[in-house]
Chain A
Amino acid sequence: MATNNGLVYLIALPLFGALSLLLLGRRADKWGHLLATALSASSFGVGLIQLSGMLGRSTESRPVTQKLFSWISVGSFNVDASLLLDQLSICFVLLITGVGTLIHIYSISYMSHDHDRRRFFAYLNLFIAAMLLLVLGDSYLNLYVGWEGVGLASYLLIGFWNQKPAYATASKKAFVMNRIGDMGLSFAIMIAFASLGTVSFAGVKEHAHHASESTMTAIGIMLLVAAVGKSAQFPLQAWLGDAMAGPTPVSALIHAATMVTAGVYLIVRSNFVFDAAPTAQLLVVIVGAITLMFGALVGTAKDDIKKALAASTMSQIGYMILGAGLGPAGYAFAIMHLLTHGFFKAGMFLGAGSVMHGMNDEVNMRKYGALRKFMPITFITFGLGYLAIIGVPPFAGFYSKDMLIETAFNAGGIKGILLGSTALLGAAITAFYMTRVMILTFTSSKRWDDSQHPHESPILMWLPMAILAIGSVTSGFLLSRGSALKNWLEPLFESHGEHEELLSPMVVSGLALLMVAIGVAIAVMKYQLSDVDSVAPVDVSVFTRIARRDLLQDDINEALFMRPGQVITAALVKVDESVVDGAVRGIGQMAIGSGTSLRKTQTGFVRSYAMLILVGAAALITAIWVVTQ
């Protein structure tokens, strides 16, 4: 494989930004945000140069590597810190740096009133660097470094306003739940090392064919656990909603466009593992299907605009995981949905941030309404993203989601029908809740009081939204034209025989559009044609109540894990106090007790000491006499 010494700059530029902003401190307050944005943009430039170089080469010689240094060298086990840029990584590199740069630009204005803006930009750059390391690492161990790095950046940014205890708790929650996933990844690395003797992608791929299926299944399941944690999939999904405590650009970049899709990247990158482990692959599909319904259902009940979008993110990533679990047929479509989702969801989050900016940080959609007139640009860009996510042709989501639904139907047998119908139903619910968000925010009657003065955001904020909106409109068409992305990624995956088609593409598209139309119609009837309360109604069905509580995710986690955990902790504290501390204190007490009783012999009277000496001497002499006789 060819070597290219330019890869390191992709990571080094934002990393330099993060370090210099953090180390220079307040001295960088005036220009820190500009430096960070410029570095992120130049990293994007390096990515574009790499892409053009890659396009100029033949298919086999497209991947390039760069060895940075020899990291671990123990006997026959060698791990280099080296980077690998292939057809899959370049998609991510451009998504991360491109969307990342737009969000940097947006944040210059969005965070302009925050006196800690420099620290914010340092963390953003840190995130970009870590995420690039994640997608550029050429082994699971290198990926792991980036994996932990994005976890750290996510933690720091969710808790950016950690003066509010609830936000600090949210960041801690995200970190702890992510740790469970991280443990899965480290187990996967350990299993790969113990049974295959290698942790690099190429090495594991080489062994994948002749290793036992149980080994591959074990690695696959552990990788799935990792993906589930990072991508907020069922059953580790509970942190994503609370992660919205972070500033909105963070939600757009980390918790919609890039970091949460790392799980999809991991599964697609490990395609050779999952192809060799059908059981693990089936689990991936099941997780994806459950999560896409879970997120969609939660999304229907949320009144907080950011939480509604977060639930939608969860659901859309469910689609991607579902696609990634469908094997070689689905990998390319999972990545395609990931890329289009990166555009429209980031755009919508920025739109939500723009609305909050104009509405004094109000997030409750029931207190919005009729904002179309006041924020025309936000309305249009958000609306384009909305059309993209519900899958109206010719917007981006139509192409990517349709492909996923079609692939799901074609998975074969009862499995295909179940998955396909789940995906279709998910599409209908997506259309419903996104229409609800749209209507509640922009078109329904005004529900805010006169203390609010909604206004359009400055150009630095709407320009990134507009660019992302253009992406939401065109990316699907461009990526699917002539199966462009599919052919681009093809060399990375095992070739596969064509499945017989259960339903023709036209029928699937027709069904999907019908479901979307039903979803939109219900939402319009419920929210546009009838009045909306500005306070959430309380006399609602038990289902609504459960959905508002995130399908009881926190209640279940608390009942199953937190409370028993607390009981175990309390018991351990008791054991520690009584057994461990008891032993230590007992030894002390014993020494004190024996000292006290021996002290009684120390009367302080010289005569008694003399008596003791005398008796002792007499006893000694007697003893010697007895012994020597």
Chain B
Amino acid sequence: MNINNYLYLSAILFTIGAVGVVVRRNAIVVFMCVELMLNAANLTLVTFSRINGTLDGQVVAFFTMVVAACEVVVGLAIIVTIYRSRRSASIDDASLLKR
């Protein structure tokens, strides 16, 4: 199988994630799209690691997973708190800092 297909797949996943972040209002969905983008990036790293025959990309992929896990913890906590106080998970409503 052509190894480039992995790269095409990750590009498609990344684009889906990015479009999701921009168009969706629900904070949870936006969050999942961000995760999708991170994983697309991970797939690219691993693929290039395979192409180049080195382990660098895989190491970085582990770092990304750790960072993503932390981000999920903090991000979900924020979303839950906002939902509790505003009874809404729409990110367009959470624009208090503008004023």
The chain A residues found within 8 Å of chain B, CB to CB, are 602-607, 610-611, 614
Q: Are B91 and A603 in contact (CB under 8 A)?
A: no
Given A614-B18, A614-B22, A606-B98 contact (CB < 8 Å): no
Instruction: Verify if B92 is at the interface (C-beta below 8 Å from A).
Output: yes
- Assembled-state Cα–Cα distance A125/B41 (Å): 94
Residues from chain B with Cβ under 8 Å of A606 in the complex:
30, 91-92, 94-95
Q: Are A605 and B92 in contact (CB under 8 A)?
A: yes
- Assembled-state Cα–Cα distance A208/B51 (Å): 103
Instruction: Verify if B70 is at the interface (C-beta below 8 Å from A).
Output: no
Q: Are A610 and B92 in contact (CB under 8 A)?
A: no
**Contact residues of B between 67 and 99, Cβ < 8 Å to A:** 91-92, 94-99
Residues from chain B with Cβ under 8 Å of A605 in the complex:
91-92, 95
Q: How far is the CB of A598 from chain B (nearest CB, A)?
A: 14
Q: How far is the CB of A256 from chain B (nearest CB, A)?
A: 77
Candidates B21, B22, B95; contact of A604 at CB < 8 Å: B95
Residues from chain A with Cβ under 8 Å of B21 in the complex:
607, 610, 614
Q: Are B22 and A610 in contact (CB under 8 A)?
A: yes
Main secondary structure of the interface of A (DSSP, over half): helix
Q: How far is the CB of A384 from chain B (nearest CB, A)?
A: 92
Residues from chain B with Cβ under 8 Å of A607 in the complex:
21-23, 25, 30, 91-92
Which residue of A is nearest B98, CB measured?
A: A604
Q: Are A603 and B98 in contact (CB under 8 A)?
A: yes
Residues from chain B with Cβ under 8 Å of A603 in the complex:
95, 98
- Assembled-state Cα–Cα distance A606/B98 (Å): 11
Q: How far is the CB of B17 from chain A (nearest CB, A)?
A: 10
Q: How far is the CB of A209 from chain B (nearest CB, A)?
A: 87
Q: Please provide the 8 A-B residue pairs with the shortest distance between their CB atoms, ordered closest to farther.
A: A604-B98, A604-B95, A606-B91, A610-B21, A611-B22, A614-B18, A605-B92, A607-B22
Most buried by A among B22, B25, B94, B98: B22
Query: What are 29 residue pairs bridging A and B, where the CB atoms are less than 8 Å apart in the complex?
Result: A602-B98, A603-B95, A603-B98, A604-B95, A604-B96, A604-B97, A604-B98, A604-B99, A605-B91, A605-B92, A605-B95, A606-B30, A606-B91, A606-B92, A606-B94, A606-B95, A607-B21, A607-B22, A607-B23, A607-B25, A607-B30, A607-B91, A607-B92, A610-B21, A610-B22, A611-B22, A614-B18, A614-B21, A614-B22
Q: How far is the CB of B96 from chain A (nearest CB, A)?
A: 8
Most buried by A among B21, B23, B30, B97: B21
Q: How far is the CB of B90 from chain A (nearest CB, A)?
A: 10
Residues from chain A with Cβ under 8 Å of B18 in the complex:
614
Which residue of A is nearest B27, CB measured?
A: A606
Most buried by B among A602, A603, A610: A610
- Assembled-state Cα–Cα distance A603/B98 (Å): 7
Residues from chain B with Cβ under 8 Å of A602 in the complex:
98
Which residue of B is nearest A612, CB measured?
A: B22
- Assembled-state Cα–Cα distance A604/B92 (Å): 8
Contact with A along B4-37 (1 / 0, CB 8 A): 0000000000000010011101000010000000
Residues from chain A with Cβ under 8 Å of B92 in the complex:
605-607
Q: How far is the CB of B5 from chain A (nearest CB, A)?
A: 21
Q: How far is the CB of A161 from chain B (nearest CB, A)?
A: 63
Q: How far is the CB of B76 from chain A (nearest CB, A)?
A: 16
- Assembled-state Cα–Cα distance A603/B92 (Å): 10
| Contacts A603-B95, A605-B95, A607-B30 supplied; 11 other A-B pairs, CB < 8 Å | A603-B98, A606-B30, A606-B91, A606-B94, A607-B22, A607-B25, A607-B91, A610-B21, A610-B22, A611-B22, A614-B21
Residues from chain B with Cβ under 8 Å of A604 in the complex:
95-99
- Assembled-state Cα–Cα distance A607/B26 (Å): 11
- Assembled-state Cα–Cα distance A607/B90 (Å): 11
Residues from chain B with Cβ under 8 Å of A614 in the complex:
18, 21-22
Q: How far is the CB of A626 from chain B (nearest CB, A)?
A: 19
- Assembled-state Cα–Cα distance A607/B22 (Å): 5
- Assembled-state Cα–Cα distance A605/B99 (Å): 12
Q: How far is the CB of B9 from chain A (nearest CB, A)?
A: 19
Which residue of A is nearest B92, CB measured?
A: A605
